[in-house]
Amino acid sequence: MKFLKSLLTLILILSLALGGIIGLCAINPEAADLIATTLGIQAPGDNGLDALTGNRSNLQNNADSTGDFVNGTNTGTNDIQNNGSISSSVDNQNNLNNNQSGILSPNSIPTDINGTGIGDLPDKQYEQGEDEDPVLRIPEKVSEKNGYQDIVGQTNSIGDLEARELMDTLGPGNTGSELVFDKRLYPYFDMLDEIGQTLYKQIYANAFDANKKFAPVISVGEKQLKNTFIAVYNDHPELFWLDSGYMGKVDGTGRVAEIDLKFNDLANDLNNARARFEDMAKLYLIEASGSDFDRECTIHDMLVNNLEYNLRAPYNQSAYSALVNKQTVCAGYARAMQYLLQRMDIPCYYCTGYAGEPHAWNIIGLDDGYYNVDATWADTDPENYDYFNKSDNDYFDTHRRNELSVYLPPCNGTKYSDIKVSPEDYGLRSIDDLGLSTDKIAYDLYSYNRMCTEAIVDRGLGQYSFINAIAGDELYNMVDQMYKDGSYRSQYLEDAMRKAGATNCRMSMEIEQLRDNIYYITHKINIS
């Protein structure tokens, strides 16, 4: 009986003590950690965080870290060792999750021609990830002049131990830490945050040295790697041996352990390839003189006159295919123009997007702002200036930016627009000369027939004329055929007469060709 009484007393004491501990932990959570440490207990889900960081609460407190640089040290990523390897730290993965893209906020995008201004993103039609594309109307004469290939980055997952061994043994190669890139000429560099810029310098330096494999000098994730590679590739046409793709190896946390660049076979004899490339570039540069606009015109016209569009041309994504081989696609035209104008200290950016198919063109900075230039689409027979020094509004129906190119400056320059006209446009009037609004221009047969019907119904019976316009040779041929075979009656006239209450109608037309492949139609009608 005594034993039972002692046991019950002990149980009561232990229950009171346990209740006191629970109450203390509820009031003071730090006491729980102290008790757990004393007893050697690890909380479920901790997975040994204390062993890696020394302080679990420190990881939680820094959960919003964006990897700010302080005195040259990235406080949100791993420490960089002297041999280029990266020490293990849970804080590194925290940084990857918080800044996967490595792209600065819109307010950091320069729009001033000297690179000193801060402005907003380009207009909504160029926003990346937009669900609805603008309706693109690609002229028949340039509909197949594209050929741009998207940059493709592939990654393979490897174990954490293999990743550490790779980073310890492979090394960073050339870190490029001493390199400086003028954001006026290299806008993609300026789009990146400091982590991206550090990696950008390393990728550029190793590509320039034709060094294929290296470990990142700073801790990055897959998305940061892709954006940084695109930035290097788009800024530097002189790296003509660098292919538009790469390989990467990532550990279980998503951290990149190895970067593997891809080179075309020009890298096998790089010194001679560089010499040929520079010799051909000099032939263009010595011809260009005068103002920036004069030099832009010279380079543009020389490329259009000297190059042949060829979808099967070797190295056709590079400036080398244009300057040395003289056969290329849109990427080669644009990268050749970019390189030559860069050499003359004229801002010229490589812009990628969609124009019926994946496409590339240039954005050029002159003294009053930026302009779109598409040398590929100028190379027709005869050549044209329909896409030379145009605004974003001019390009809205034909070109759409994508990827990092949406962050390039908006093109709103006006001083150098419409100075040069296509040979077939000499002496022709424009829609502005005639005061014709764009809503009077039909881009397809349905729209043309609808415009004619509405004009007749609105005016009713009597003798009068009405005007509209059609765009493009293809639509002109369709309209011409419709009037020749008489099918215009069933297409729109019979319906218009019925709605207007008419039984008789006579019609004649006068057609005037305008600039930019527009046809101005005056319809003379007597309807009763």
pTM beyond 0.85, yes or no:
no
Q: What Cα–Cα distance (Å) separates residue 432 from each residue in 310, 435, 437?
A: 36, 5, 8
Query: CB neighbours of 127 closer than 8 A, spacing ≥ 6?
Result: 121, 406
Classify 395 as helix, strand or coil. Answer: helix
Burial of 169 (0-12, 13-18, 19+ CB in 10 A): exposed
Q: Is the separation of the CB atoms in 420 and 388 below 8 Å?
A: yes
Alpha helix segments (H runs only) across 463-506: 473-485, 488, 494-500
Would you list the DSSP string of 4-56?
Answer: HHHHHHHHHHHHHHHHHHHHHHHH-HHHHHHHHHHHT---TT-TTHHHHHS-H
Quote the CA–CA distance of 449 and 444 in Å, as a whole number: 9
Q: Is the separation of the CB atoms in 408 and 349 below 8 Å?
A: yes
Quote the CA–CA distance of 152 and 527 in Å, as a whole number: 62
Place of tokens 């700073």: 218
* pLDDT tens by residue, the chain, 528 residues: 555 556 656 666 666 666 666 655 555 545 555 454 444 444 333 333 232 223 322 323 333 333 332 233 333 333 323 333 323 233 333 333 334 455 543 333 333 333 332 223 333 334 433 444 567 888 888 988 999 999 999 988 888 888 888 888 889 999 999 999 999 999 999 999 999 999 999 999 999 999 999 999 999 999 999 999 999 999 999 999 999 999 999 998 899 999 999 999 999 999 999 999 999 999 999 999 999 999 999 999 999 999 999 999 999 999 999 999 999 999 999 999 999 999 999 999 999 999 999 999 999 999 999 999 999 999 998 889 999 999 999 999 899 999 999 999 999 999 999 887 776 666 678 888 888 888 889 999 999 999 999 999 999 999 999 999 998 888 998 998 998 898 999 999 999 999 999 999 988 888 888 887 889 999 999 999
Classify 238 as helix, strand or coil. Answer: coil
Query: CB neighbours of 449 closer than 8 A, spacing ≥ 6?
Result: 491, 492
Place of tokens 């493009």: 472
Place of tokens 């801002």: 347
Quote the CA–CA distance of 146 and 144 in Å, as a whole number: 6
Quote the CA–CA distance of 29 and 21 in Å, as a whole number: 11
Half-sphere exposure of 425 (CA within 13 A, CB side): 18
